[in-house]
Every structure is written in structure tokens, then in C-alpha cells.
Structure 1
Amino acid sequence: MSERSAQVTIVAGYSATEWELLTGLPGRVIVVAARPGPGPAYSSVAAGLAGLDAVAAGRVFDSDLIRAVVATVYARHDGASETGAEPDDPADLLAACRAAVRVLERRADPADSAAYRQWVQSVGARVCRTASAVVPGAELAPADRRFLDRLGGALALR
């Protein structure tokens, strides 16, 4: 089976709403994680670029689901989300993560589900690490650590 036909098969297993949720989640994580918070100023642009790099890294994952999600993300022309949720509200993001977990439990292979959830968490971690790296030797900011803990919980990784 070609990579393109594998992607079509993966996408066909989800409703349009479910697929929008899964493909929109990594970008929403970037937006929320890259927001500057209290503490040392950092470039949210650099943090956002790190997140985009983490999303792009999904192109080479072993998971057909992740590769299909990344292909869909990069195939979009308008970059707009079709969900009506406010993209930078942390509470809405965590609710979307919990909804994605439920979709994955129903529709995805357990290995693909675990890989997707870990990948989304890694996108957030890359953004937060980039934000903290502005100050050499700095540890992850407490707010970033709390965000990643809550994100992991919402993704059923903790």
C-alpha cells in the first residue's frame, strides 16, 4: 500500500469533526504553550517555530496516524481551524485533548493512539523548552511545568 493510500484509509476512519479535532490539536498546543507568561521575556516566535518543527518531525514517525495528521496539517491552505473554539484558551485546549483521547480510544489502533498522544505532548514540551532556553541553564518555568503536567493528564499520559 502506498503512503498516500494509507493516509486516505486512516482519514476515512474518522468523521470530519473527529479529523479536524486530531489535526487541529498540535497547532492549538503550540499557540497555548508559546504564549508568553510571567517571568523572563522570551520570543514566542522562537517557541512557535520550535513547535512547528516538532509537528513537522511527525512526517518520519512510524505511526501512519501521525504521518496522516501531519500531511493534512501541511496540505491546508488557509491555516484556519474549523472548530469554533477559542484557539488560545488553555481550558478549551485541555477539553479538546480529552475529546481526542475518547476519539482515539474508539477509532485508533492502541499503538497509534499512544504515539499520537505522546507526539502532541512532545510538541508542547518542545515549545516550553525553547521558551526556557532563552536564559542559559534555566529550568523549565513553573507555569510551563504545570501546563505540561495538565496537558499530559488531559492526553491520558499520566
Structure 2
Amino acid sequence: MSHSVAGEPPSAGRRAAPMTTAVYSAAEWDLLTSLPGRVLAAAAAPGPGRPRRGVTEGLAGLEALTAGRSFDSDLVRAVVTTIYARPDGQPVPGNGSTDLVDLLAACREAVRVLDRRADPADSAAYRQWVQSVAARVCRALPPGRVRSVGESPADRRFLDRLGDALGLR
């Protein structure tokens, strides 16, 4: 992230001060900051027709989560900052469930919050970033495994349903 020199305006498209979260209620902010981690956990969880995931896939998801720090979106950067500012051991807001029905409902609720409160560009960036976290987990290959053709059909269905719930399809 670039910083402006004293007396110079901040980089184009970037605010001098961090984005305020005041436009979101505490419950809305908890939803937006817990959703990426819930998506990562659900993508890594085994399910019908979905393989068991290991460390490689989890690390791929964490890398995608961390990549949000360099997004050209104040909202995504603020969410990542909030996620990584939580003290170790502090529970992540949300119910912690990897149940797909609960996750998709949370995604749809996040879209409603973003529609009401976020700049359209920030909303799109957030939704795409959350989808990319799941995609990185589903597409990661453990050491020694060779990909045949794309992700499994079950992973594809998972990503499609997630994309629908995030309003990306």
C-alpha cells in the first residue's frame, strides 16, 4: 500500500484516512467480517462428492483472504484489517457453522447489506473477493496430486451456488 508524502494528495482512488465502518451496524460489520472465514471453512470442509481438504488447500484460502489487503477497495481492505486485528483466541462473529444452507443465507444477507450501504464498486469487489477465497481452496492441489480436468463436479456446484448467493451470476 502506498503512502503519500506530506503535502501530496493521496493516490488516486485511495482515501487519506481509512474507511470508516460507521455506516454499518455492529451486526452488519460482524457479518461482513466473518463471512470470508466462514466461506474458507465451508470450502475446506468435506461434503458429498467433495474431497477432504488438507493444509495446502487451507493455506491457499488464507492467501486469497490476505490478498484482499491489496484490493483497490476500501471496504475489502477494511474487512481484511478487521479480520487480522482480532486477538488470537477471540471468537469470530457468526455461528461458526460450515452448513451450506446457513452459509448461503449469510451470503444473501451480506448482499442485502452491501446493496443498502456500500458503494457499488466496493460491493462488487467484496463479493468477488469472497468468491475467490472459496475458488482458491477448491482449486488448490495437495503435493503430489495432478489435476485431471478442473475441480470436481461437487466443487463446481458449491462454487456456483456460492456465486448465486453472492449475486455474481
Unaligned runs of 5+ in 1: none
Hey, what does 2:119 align to over in structure 1? 109
Aligned equivalents of 1:54, 1:137: Cα separation in 2: 20
User: CA-to-partner distance for each residue in 1:59-112, whole Å, 9 max, x for gaps?
Assistant: 0000000000000000001352232x3421111000000000000000000000
Aligned equivalents of 1:40, 1:157: Cα separation in 2: 22
- State the Cα distance separating 1:140 from its structure 2 match: 0.4
Q: Aligned letter for 2:17?
A: S
Q: Aligned letter for 1:150?
A: R
Match of 1:140 among 151, 156, 161: 151
TM-score normalised by length of structure 1: 0.88
Aligned equivalents of 1:97, 1:117: Cα separation in 2: 9
Structure 1 residues 121 and 87, CA gap change in structure 2 (3 angstroms): same
User: CA-to-partner distance for each residue in 1:88-137, whole Å, 9 max, x for gaps?
Assistant: 11110000000000000000000000010001001110000015886313
Determine whether 1:6 maps to 2:18.
yes
Structure 1 residues 40 and 70, CA gap change in structure 2 (3 angstroms): closer
Aligned equivalents of 2:64, 2:79: Cα separation in 1: 13
The structure with more helix, counted as a fraction of residues = 1
TM-score normalised by length of structure 2: 0.83
Moved more, 19-28 or 73-82: 73-82
Residue pair 2:42, 2:98 contacting (<8 A) in 1 also: yes
Aligned length in residues: 155
Larger Rg: 2
Unaligned runs of 5+ in 2: 1-9
Aligned equivalents of 1:151, 1:6: Cα separation in 2: 29
Match of 1:36 among 35, 46, 58: 46
Structure 1 residues 66 and 133, CA gap change in structure 2 (3 angstroms): farther
